[in-house]
Amino acid sequence: MTSPVVLRIRTAVAWFSRTRFFRRVGPHVMPPLERGMAWLTRGRVQMSGLLVPSLVLHTVGARSGQQRDATLMYVPEPGGTMLVTGSNFAAAGHPAWSGNLLAHPDAAVSVRGRRIPVHAALVPDDEREATWRYIERQWPGYRGYETSSGRTLRMFRLTPR
């Protein structure tokens, strides 16, 4: 369970991450910062993971067939599954990694430096509301990205294989 102090900090950071400023600057600033932290810690720590659970998603490119990595926030579920949401900084288009998972659902994640093979499945429409409620208990206001983006965000459940 998340402590009240961490939840308050996440609420403030969630608000900031939905501002127009962050949505404009974040896509340019966050990836190099994440790469720098990964280099410094040899992949054991993601910068965003200092505040929220984070993982590195390893996919195969839908068109290129090349290995692709993306650092993402995730929400752990009981039983070891993980939820990831394609918010893409509230951009109008879906993030590339979500298309990669649709084309190649067998992927891997690295959590705290440990690589885990996973199978990705879209969260079914009849589970979306309950899943959003669960995600927002961990990351308050996160669904605001869906409203801001003007699209239905792709939500995936990653099951270890």
Domain carrying residue 111: 4-160
Grouping H, G, I as helix, E, B as strand and the rest as coil, residue 15 is helix
Q: What is the pTM of this model?
A: 0.75
Report how many domains make up the chain.
1
Grouping H, G, I as helix, E, B as strand and the rest as coil, residue 122 is strand
Whichever domain contains 9, its CATH number is 2.30.110.10
What pLDDT digit, counting tens, does each position of 69-121 carry?
Answer: 998 989 999 999 999 999 988 889 999 999 999 999 999 999 988 999 999 99
